[in-house]
Structure formats: structure tokens, C-alpha cells
């Protein structure tokens, strides 16, 4: 699945393919990103060149591997989170992103869970293939694309630290560790003193 996901709105762009060489991936990404950018409001002109570059540099700070920015940059218009794959870092593709105001941000190795596109792919996979027995590749592709189209009729926004995280935090607050182990109780255990256990210490 070639997938682009917009967490704030919940919309997904998906295309099923039988292979994903750079020529296929980059062509599709450029096509979709161009359509998205054309639908955005025109970028505001920065006050000066330094301010324009600072907007890009802000997203490089803290990165272990910093993408080398082009010398001349347009206004920053979009952040694109990508997996840390070699095909996502080819010079031609990265320079195309820079020229169109798109800042690529790469998840760390072994950190694909930080890319929400992975989450939406798992959801669509369950909906498309759960209980089904496809016989051809074309069937699988058609089901995936149909499920994505249906999802977009009522998309669900994704949010880091949303209601589910707050619910887990409340559950943890209602638990009480037992003896420093991994076990918990739902109510605090009363503290015992030596007198509670019948100790008789001389006064």
C-alpha cells in the first residue's frame, strides 16, 4: 500500500501496487503531494531570508540525522513523516521536496510506530481482509482501495496523547504497587506497624 495520511483531518490517500521501486513510489508521492499543496492556501511571504530559513531549521533541531537543506528554500508548507528507508532519501526526491516547501522528517530505525501511516494501514488491513479469502492480487488491491474510500467518507482524526492515553494515565493513577514488584492493587494497602503484628517492645 502506498499511503499518505493526514492525522489532523484523518484523510488517507492510498494506492495498491504489486511492487514498490523508487520510480513507482516517488512518482505517486509527487503526484499526491502536488495535489495537496495546490489545495492549501498560498504561503505567507516571510519577513526576510533569515526568517524563512529559521522556519526550516526549527524542524532539524534535535534530530540525530539532519537532512542537508538546499541553499535556496521556498516558504515551508508541509511536514512529511517518512520511514527511515534509503529510497526516501535519494537526492533527487529530497531536492524535489525542498523545492516544493516540504520538509521530510524520518522516523528512527525500529521506530516505524512513530509514523501514523503505519496505524491507519493496520486498521484498513483488518477491515479489508478480515474474514476474507482473496484469490488474486487485484482483489486485494480493490478491497484496500474500497476500504480507504469508505474511510474518507467519515475519517477519524489521530492525535498523540489523546483520550486513550488520558484514560490509561487515570488507570495507572488508580493502581498501587505491591512490594515494589510488577503487581498492583486497586486500593492502597494499610500500613502495618510492629504493634499490629503483636510485637512487644520494652518502653
Q: What pLDDT score was predicted for residue 103?
A: 93
Give the DSSP H or E segment for 5: strand 2-5
Q: Is residue 67, in this structure, part of any structural domain at all?
A: yes
Query: Can you tell me the distance from the alpha carbon of 201 to that of 203, in angstroms, rounded to the nearest whole number?
Result: 6
Looking at the structure, tell me whether residues 91 and 67 fall in a common domain: yes
> Which three three-digit cell numbers place residue 174?
488508580
Q: Judge contact between 43 and 100, C-beta under 8 A.
A: no
Q: Is residue 202, in this structure, part of any structural domain at all?
A: no
Q: What pLDDT score was predicted for residue 47?
A: 66
Q: What pLDDT score was predicted for residue 39?
A: 93
| Domain total of the chain | 2
Looking at the structure, tell me whether residues 175 and 110 fall in a common domain: no
What pTM does this model have?
A: 0.74
Looking at the structure, tell me whether residues 174 and 119 fall in a common domain: no
Q: Is residue 83, in this structure, part of any structural domain at all?
A: yes
Looking at the structure, tell me whether residues 103 and 183 fall in a common domain: no
Q: What pLDDT score was predicted for residue 157?
A: 87
Q: What pLDDT score was predicted for residue 198?
A: 56
Domain of residue 180: give its range.
164-197
Strands 184-185 and 176-177: antiparallel
Mean pLDDT per block of 10 residues along the chain (203 residues) reads 92 93 95 95 79 88 80 90 88 93 87 80 90 90 94 88 75 70 68 56 53
- All residues at 6 or more sequence positions from 26 whose CB lies less than 8 Å from its CB, including other chains: 87, 90, 92, 93, 96
Query: Can you tell me the distance from the alpha carbon of 170 to that of 151, in angstroms, rounded to the nearest whole number?
Result: 30
Q: What pLDDT score was predicted for residue 134?
A: 86
Burial of residue 89 (CB within 10 Å: 0-12, 13-18, 19+) is middle
Amino acid at each position: 500500500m502506498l499511503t499518505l495520511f493526514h492525522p489532523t483531518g484523518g484523510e488517507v490517500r492510498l494506492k495498491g501496487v504489486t511492487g514498490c521501486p523508487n520510480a513507482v513510489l516517488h512518482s505517486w508521492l509527487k503526484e499526491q503531494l502536488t495535489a495537496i499543496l495546490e489545495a492549501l492556501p498560498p504561503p505567507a511571504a516571510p519577513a526576510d531570508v533569515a526568517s524563512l530559513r529559521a522556519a526550516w531549521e526549527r524542524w532539524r533541531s534535535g534530530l540525530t540525522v539532519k537532512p542537508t537543506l538546499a541553499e535556496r528554500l521556498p516558504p515551508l508548507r508541509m511536514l512529511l513523516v517518512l520511514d527511515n528507508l534509503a529510497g526516501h532519501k535519494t537526492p533527487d526526491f529530497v531536492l524535489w521536496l525542498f523545492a516544493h516547501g516540504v520538509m521530510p522528517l524520518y522516523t528512527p530505525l525500529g521506530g516505524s510506530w512513530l509514523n501514523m501511516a503505519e496505524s491507519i494501514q493496520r486498521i484498513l488491513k483488518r477491515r479489508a481482509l478480515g474474514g476474507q479469502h482473496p484469490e488474486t492480487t487485484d482483489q486485494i488491491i480493490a478491497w484496500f482501495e474500497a476500504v480507504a474510500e469508505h474511510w474518507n467518507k467519515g475519517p477519524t482524526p489521530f492525535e498523540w496523547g489523546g483520550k486513550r492515553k488520558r484514560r490509561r494515565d487515570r488507570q495507572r493513577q488508580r493502581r498501587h504497587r505491591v512490594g515494589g514488584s510488577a503487581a498492583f492493587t486497586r486500593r492502597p494497602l494499610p500500613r502495618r506497624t510492629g504493634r499490629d503484628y503483636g510485637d512487644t517492645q520494652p518502653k
